[in-house]
Chains A and B, each alone.
Chain A
Amino acid sequence: MNENHELILKYLAGLIDDEESFKKRLEADENFAAEFKKLSAGMDKVDSFGKVELNDNYFNSMIPKVRSSMDKKRSFIGRRSFIYSVSTAMATVIIFLMFNINFSSRMHSDEVFTELMEDYNSEELLSVIEEDDYFSMFYLSDNLSENYKSEVSLGVEEYLVFDDQSSLLSLYRDEYIDQLSDEEMELILQKLDNKNFF
């Protein structure tokens, strides 16, 4: 980027004190005016990328979606408190891992999960899963027989005990991160920045 470009961008950003001199040069100097035109055209192109419309259906359905989301939150508020408390505990474990794992080489996500899960037993995890909305929809539905429910429950317990837990837990991974407070997120990002991971 040459000196003129820098000057033009400063003008566009409002960082030039003597705008009159800048404008006079723009009128008098053809090359400078051409550079100004070129940079402005680049910015106009960026603006044109932003001039996009979405189908009306999307915005027409927004308020019903928000209303339904608020209703759903109200009805689940009691049950959600448990998953939130477990998720917060999970978030704490993530922070612990971030601070204690040796970041000399980038870890694979499975390794992070494996370490994460060592601190949790299957009973706690089963409780988390039972609190999940989607799981509740299928598993706790009144239309299912008790026998079927206990079969599913047993299957989930076996899966948690004997199988690789990380794939099941990946369903809940966003919950863990979403429960982080701003301060916790800041600490993690600082830690990762210090280690030059970004």
Chain B
Amino acid sequence: MVENIDFELINRFKEGEEQAFNLLAAKYQKQVYWHARRMVGNHIDADDVTQEVLIVMYKKLKDFRFDSSLSTWLYKVTSTRSINQLRKNKVKRFVFLDDQESMELQGNENLYKSVEDREKLDRLDRVLNQLPHKQRQVFVLRRFDGLSYEEIAEITGKSVGGLKANYFHALKKVTELMENE
């Protein structure tokens, strides 16, 4: 049903109806943002990734061939871009001694619905930031996005066995880290 609606909206966009893109973007922007947010660990980068992904969606939608669902394709683009962002941040922090935390504090006072929400996300970031990128990816996709290993395999191009091993190591690390939270 969901895919039928997407199919219809994508075809309407291909026929030149700009509003169809707005409907698709409105439908998927939260999925994209929250996946990016949990992957990159701060709002500023997640906001950048979300905008980039929606722009990529706009550009690529005309050639979309329905080889996978739009949702899976968006996870793939968001995940790849988020990992690239993490890698860039790693280099930036080394070369320019960037302070990630000070970045996060800029202009986000009204972003969260409550102080408690802000604190919960900070605690989650502290835990997830300790995971290697690939473990973080499978942990976020499985734990927060609720995807099956088969769906994650389609997104990451990794084998289900390898993903299970990655998830196990992520669980082990998160369990240890949670003892301090």
A94 to chain B, nearest CB (A): 7
**A1 within 8 A of partner (CB):** yes
Task: Decide: A70 near B91, CB < 8 A? Known: A9-B171, A42-B175, A55-B113.
Answer: no
**B84 within 8 A of partner (CB):** yes
B95 and A50 within 8 A (CB):
no
Contacts of B26 in A (CB 8 A): 63
B37 to chain A, nearest CB (A): 9
| Bound form: Cα–Cα A5–B175 in Å | 10
Contacts of B149 in A (CB 8 A): 14
A174 and B92 within 8 A (CB):
yes
Interface residues on A, range: 35 or more
**B29 within 8 A of partner (CB):** yes
B92 and A62 within 8 A (CB):
no
Contacts of A54 in B (CB 8 A): 33, 111-113
Q: Which of A14, A55, A65, A178 contacts B164 (CB 8 A)?
A: A14
Q: Which of A43, A66, A108, A178 contacts B54 (CB 8 A)?
A: A66
A13 and B164 within 8 A (CB):
yes
**B90 within 8 A of partner (CB):** yes
Contacts of B171 in A (CB 8 A): 9, 12-13, 43
Contacts of A15 in B (CB 8 A): 164-165, 168
**B58 within 8 A of partner (CB):** yes
Interface residues on B, range: 35 or more
B54 and A62 within 8 A (CB):
yes
Considering the complex, give the chain B residue whose CB is closest to the CB of A41: B178
| Bound form: Cα–Cα A51–B88 in Å | 27
| Bound form: Cα–Cα A47–B142 in Å | 11
Interface residues of A in 59-95 (CB under 8 A from B): 59, 62-63, 65-66, 69-70, 73, 94
**B62 within 8 A of partner (CB):** no
**A112 within 8 A of partner (CB):** yes
Interface string of A43-60 (1 = CB under 8 A from B): 101111111111101110
**A198 within 8 A of partner (CB):** yes
Task: Decide: A10 near B50, CB < 8 A? Known: A55-B113, A59-B29, A185-B91.
Answer: no
A135 to chain B, nearest CB (A): 20
Interface centre among B50, B84, B91, B174 (most CB of A within 10 A): B91
Contacts of B172 in A (CB 8 A): 1, 6, 9
**B3 within 8 A of partner (CB):** no
| Bound form: Cα–Cα A185–B89 in Å | 11
| Bound form: Cα–Cα A1–B30 in Å | 36
Query: Could you list 20 further interchain pairs (A-B, Cβ under 8 angstroms) beyond the known A63-B29, A63-B54, A112-B96?
Result: A6-B172, A39-B175, A42-B175, A43-B174, A46-B143, A49-B123, A49-B127, A55-B110, A62-B33, A62-B50, A66-B54, A66-B55, A69-B55, A109-B96, A170-B96, A177-B88, A177-B92, A185-B91, A189-B87, A189-B91
